[in-house]
Structure 1
Amino acid sequence: MGFFTSGAKSVENLTNDDIRKIFPKFTAENVEKNNVTFEKIVEIASRKGCSPGQLSLAWVQHQGNDVSSIPGTTKVKNLEENIGALSVKITPDEMKEIENVLSTCGFSGDRMADAYKDLTWMNSETPPLFSWKDVR
């Protein structure tokens, strides 16, 4: 949701009509805690020569062939940066380092506001995978 573009500064720059203002992860007390994680990710990204956003997207891509990030943006420059994440390669040692940051610092606050939780995949009616037709 854009936090890895500039950390706490991203929250300061949210307009009054930005929906993220009501998301728990972006409240003042949680942003302060989450900024610790952000700063550690910035350090790793800096060593790799990429942005923290690119590192986070690359980390998702390195989770396996059955996982894909779905970044959203309204700006071409952000789209270009997101595409650049496809060329960020993460070594096993870097994966351990990132996972250590996430497990020790983590994130505070739910991703979604309570009002939007019913709209997530957890409440969808997607048929189970075994029921899908093989279209090959």
Structure 2
Amino acid sequence: VGELKKLIEEASAATIRRAHAVHPITAVQLEWSLWSRDVEEEIIPACRELGIGIVAYSPLGRGFLASGPKLLDSLADGDFRRTQPRFQGENWDHNKTLFERVSEIANRKGCTPSQLALAWVHHQGDDVCPIPGTTKIENFNQNIGALSVKLTPEDMSELEAIASTDAVKGDRYMAGMSTFKGADTPPLSSWKSE
């Protein structure tokens, strides 16, 4: 499994389609949250068209939607998030407003921002399974509480409006790291046998 993961990690919609044509794919793991919605344009529709389940990792935006602005204060010096563009300088200052708006809606719904963010992912469909990571029992219990958060279509629209793909500033990864953008495999017609 580890070797296969390397082949299709951060795969584009075209790569997923090609891989699925060779061997049916059961699920695709991808980053999806209110903080990272760029997969909705092509990858999510491709998975749904092909009947591929969606495993949403980092549904709390790498901890941002759980802790908000205080997240940076709690990160160890060597934590990789400190190097990511979304967590730096003007991007970070801008992105704090997203957390504030999510917090306001969470207060209205009687839940925490992390529960609201998880509920948003969970409400994306029966083909979606969010996998939040945690190292603390209290956070685990918070995550379980997200299953009780009911979101109306109006709630979903409001969250999607404040967390549109262009609302978050900064890339998910620093320059040079491989992501699904621009990661299409070359067309089969370009392959040459030796």
Shorter-chain TM-score tier: 0.7 to 0.9
* 1:12 and 2:70 matched: no
Which has a greater percent of helix?
1
CA shift, 1:117, in A, is 2.8
Counterpart mapping for 1:56-71 below 5 A: 56-71=117-132
Aligned equivalent of 1:111, options 165, 172, 193: 172
* 1:46 and 2:107 matched: yes
2:137 aligned partner? 76
Give the 3-state SS of the residue equivalent to 2:99 in structure 1: helix
* 1:102 and 2:163 matched: yes
Runs of 4+ in 1 over 4 A off after TM superposition: none
Extract unaligned runs of 5+ from structure 2. 1-61, 186-194
2-structure distance, mates of 1:112, 1:69: 20
Tell me the TM-score normalized by structure 2. Answer: 0.57
CA shift, 1:37, in A, is 0.9
2-structure distance, mates of 1:61, 1:29: 31
C-alpha contact 1:36 1:105 (8 A) present in aligned 2: no
CA shift, 1:31, in A, is 1.1
Give the 3-state SS of the residue equivalent to 2:163 in structure 1: helix
2-structure distance, mates of 1:55, 1:105: 20
CA shift, 1:59, in A, is 0.1
Aligned letter for 2:108? R
1:58-116 Cα deviation digits (max 9, x unpaired)? 00011111222111111111111111111111011111111111128721112223454
1:35 aligned partner? 96
2-structure distance, mates of 1:8, 1:52: 12
Give the alignment's Cα RMSD to 1 decimal: 2.4
Tell me the TM-score normalized by structure 1. Answer: 0.80
Extract unaligned runs of 5+ from structure 1. 126-136
Task: State the aligned residue count.
Answer: 124
1:23 aligned partner? 84
Matched-pair identity in %: 48
Greater C-alpha radius of gyration: 2
Which has a greater percent of strand?
2
